[in-house]
Structure 1
Amino acid sequence: MDLDVFVAAHRAEWARLEALLRRRRRRLTGAETDELVALYQRTATHLSVVRSSAPDPALISRLTTLVARARSVVIGTRRATWRDALTFFTAGFPAACYRTRHWWVPTALVFTGLVAALGWWIADNPGVQASIAAPAELREMTRPGGAYETYYSSSPAAAFSAQVWTNNAQVAGMSLAFGALLGLPVLWVLLQNAVNVATGVGLMAAADRLDVFLGLILPHGLLELTAVFVAAGVGLRLGWCVIDPGPRTRLTALGQEGRAALGMAVGLAVVLLVSGLIEGFVTPSGLPTWARIAIGVAAELAFLAYVFILGRRAVAAGETGDIAEPDRQTEVPVAA
């Protein structure tokens, strides 16, 4: 394609579109509005032709700006409202969690099995315990009133909750962000967390105080770890999209799953906030162990019901967890 000839043939149309856009603050007539829409469609086609046949950066930049301005006038802009937030938390987020259940449920099962195996290995091998810390330090950590017990009351409840929430949100965010790197860093994050939990399980079991440890970790840990599993599962799914995007292009697959992952980061931040509040106010409280564990179990069951009941209904209704369709870019069909 001769670019100079193409520009000369359509320059007048682009100039007319720019003139109509400058005049849009004044009320356009019906004929002018129809003309603007037609010129917008033509210019969008021109942009596509230039991109595919004569990718001149300056012309592409000019036409992209012109098409974007025209699109905002023709289609209009949409402001986020409280209704959008309500839709996200009642449909989008639970649907996204439900859609990725085949990734994070197995992740949770493997993690739990690994923690149990490592914990048993640590508890049953004094040599492994000695490699973790000196005997005096181990006694200090596991004794009544030791480090494992005082950790949850080491700071004021509000400050401790904020600290825990920030840390867990970072872990979840890393799991989501690292997914694009084939998911390999996600596995490393999970392994680190499994080793940390297994170390506590093994050392407290060796001191014959596993019941105390579980009474401290279960109230908040059930919901907290579930949120981490969901984040890790989404990260692994995102990484798999790079390997096998299915009928979509890799860019399209990453775009769709990446947008859903960003939304899930917001939803999981709220879940982790609830977990942090439990860890800051319930775990170190004077409530009986059974009552603290019951609160944790209730929070976990509420989240699972939220995902598997509300989420399943949302998915059946066509919800995917992606942003609203008007906010997405138009996609070109591709052959499978």
Structure 2
Amino acid sequence: MDIDAFSAARRDQWDRLDELTRRRQLTGSQADELVALYRGAARDLSRARTQAPDPQVLAELSRLVVAARARVTGTREVRASDLRRYLAQTVPAALYRLRWWTLGVTLAELAIAVVVAVWTLHSPQAMSALGSPSELSAYANDAFESYYSTYAPSEFASQVWTNNARIAVLCVAGGITGVLPAYVMWANAVSLGQAAAIMVDHDLLGLFFALISPHGLLELTCVFIAGAAGLKLFWTMLVPGPRPRAVALAEEGRALIAVAVGMTGALAVAGVIEAFVTPAPVPWSLKITVGVLALVVLWTYTLVVGGRAVRSGVTGDLDEEEAGAVAVAVG
């Protein structure tokens, strides 16, 4: 197909579609015309993609079709089947594609926390910077444990979930800066290492792990995943690969929003465990078992369900109908 001749023959229809799409108000006949022109442009885009993939023409047609589709269809109704597919395929696929980044961030976080803990224990200046001996003793012997029972369980669960979900979303949404997720991950690791150092210094390492493990296994993993998502988005901006940078960022950004959705749900579970299980008067072995099971469920969802979704072709990005359309990359 001669793309120049094709464009010249269809130019009037494309220009008219662009004009109608931009109008604030349409008459009945103009609305019918818009629908007809939109369908024609969609067919033209499909034909150009397969027969004459000229980048300039494809980019123009993609823009026209996206704008016209939004004008024609308005807000798309969310169906129950869409929600099921999103939770059963899109979210786990996005988590699965992030698994190696998650592992890398997890190892880095744990390494930083251990280094900070050891350094704090062996540096009187570092330990004294955290508080006076009486303050540190009160923290280790009372405040660290009483924190989990200060508020009513339902109120505490809501507070914990809100705070952690906000951090997770900020890591993902602020990933484009690179600085925000890196700072959050650093601050989280340092705080964890310092808390561990204080507890070890008062011979309470066992209590530290007993209190942290029930909810912390899931909660910290969610934070690591959110940090990994933000850092991956920043890396995509730096190294987009064969895709145009704008296309790569749009695709990865939509997929990583699915990660934020998944982490918001998982952090709600972690909040419930922290508020109701961690302070409960039951054996610590049972509490830790609950934490381990919650973590196993998350990784099963990621590796088994997500792996199956990815192998079936799901990327974690929205499909074309949900996203409106995607810009076309050629070459």
Normalised to the residue count of structure 2, the TM-score between the two structures is: 0.82
Whole-Å Cα distance in 1 between the matches of residues 42 and 316 of structure 2? 32
Post-superposition CA distance 1:54-90 (Å, at most 9, x none): xxxxxxx9x8998347753xxx974211111111111
User: 1:142 and 1:70, CA in 2 relative to 1: closer, same or farther beyond 3 A?
Assistant: closer
8 Å CA contact 2:244, 2:329 repeated in 1: no
Post-superposition CA distance 1:165-188 (Å, at most 9, x none): 01101110111011111x222111
Whether 1:165 aligns to 2:161 is: yes
Q: Tell me what 2:123 maps to.
A: 125
Whole-Å Cα distance in 1 between the matches of residues 16 and 112 of structure 2? 66
Whole-Å Cα distance in 1 between the matches of residues 138 and 15 of structure 2? 82
Larger radius of gyration: 1
Whether 1:152 aligns to 2:151 is: no
User: 1:293 and 1:71, CA in 2 relative to 1: closer, same or farther beyond 3 A?
Assistant: same
Residue 88 of structure 1, aligned match among 80, 86, 89: 86
Question: What letter corresponds to residue 171 of structure 1 in structure 2?
Answer: I
8 Å CA contact 2:101, 2:232 repeated in 1: yes
Whole-Å Cα distance in 1 between the matches of residues 320 and 66 of structure 2? 22
8 Å CA contact 2:42, 2:65 repeated in 1: no
8 Å CA contact 1:111, 1:190 repeated in 2: yes
Q: How does 1:159-308 map to 2 (within 5 A)?
A: 159-181=155-177, 183-308=178-303
User: 1:43 and 1:208, CA in 2 relative to 1: closer, same or farther beyond 3 A?
Assistant: closer
Question: What letter corresponds to residue 291 of structure 2 in structure 1?
Answer: G
Aligned residues between the structures: 303
User: 1:109 and 1:39, CA in 2 relative to 1: closer, same or farther beyond 3 A?
Assistant: closer
Whole-Å Cα distance in 2 between the matches of residues 207 and 245 of structure 1? 49
Q: Tell me what 2:4 maps to.
A: none
Normalised to the residue count of structure 1, the TM-score between the two structures is: 0.81
Post-superposition CA distance 1:177-214 (Å, at most 9, x none): 11111x22211110111111111100000100010011
- How far the C-alpha of 1:324 sits from its partner, in A, is 2.2
Question: What letter corresponds to residue 165 of structure 2 in structure 1?
Answer: A
Q: Tell me what 2:53 maps to.
A: none
Whole-Å Cα distance in 1 between the matches of residues 14 and 188 of structure 2? 61
Q: RMSD in angstroms over aligned alpha carbons? A: 3.3
Unaligned runs of 5+ in 1: 1-7, 46-51, 54-60
User: 1:157 and 1:163, CA in 2 relative to 1: closer, same or farther beyond 3 A?
Assistant: same
Question: What letter corresponds to residue 252 of structure 2 in structure 1?
Answer: E
8 Å CA contact 2:94, 2:306 repeated in 1: yes
Whether 1:104 aligns to 2:95 is: no
8 Å CA contact 2:38, 2:65 repeated in 1: no
Whole-Å Cα distance in 1 between the matches of residues 245 and 136 of structure 2? 50
Question: What letter corresponds to residue 95 of structure 2 in structure 1?
Answer: C
Question: What letter corresponds to residue 22 of structure 1 in structure 2?
Answer: G
Whole-Å Cα distance in 1 between the matches of residues 176 and 257 of structure 2? 12
Q: Tell me what 1:41 maps to.
A: 40
Unaligned runs of 5+ in 2: 1-10, 45-55, 58-62
Whole-Å Cα distance in 1 between the matches of residues 118 and 297 of structure 2? 30
Amino-acid identity (%): 34
8 Å CA contact 1:119, 1:201 repeated in 2: yes
Post-superposition CA distance 1:69-122 (Å, at most 9, x none): 7753xxx97421111111111111111001011211110011011111211222
User: 1:21 and 1:210, CA in 2 relative to 1: closer, same or farther beyond 3 A?
Assistant: same
Question: What letter corresponds to residue 328 of structure 2 in structure 1?
Answer: V
8 Å CA contact 1:124, 1:206 repeated in 2: no
Whether 1:22 aligns to 2:28 is: yes
8 Å CA contact 2:35, 2:72 repeated in 1: no
8 Å CA contact 1:43, 1:67 repeated in 2: no
Partner of 1:132: helix, strand, or coil?
coil
Whole-Å Cα distance in 2 between the matches of residues 315 and 192 of structure 1? 33
Q: How does 1:291-330 map to 2 (within 5 A)?
A: 291-328=286-323, 329-330=325-326
Q: Tell me what 1:67 maps to.
A: 68
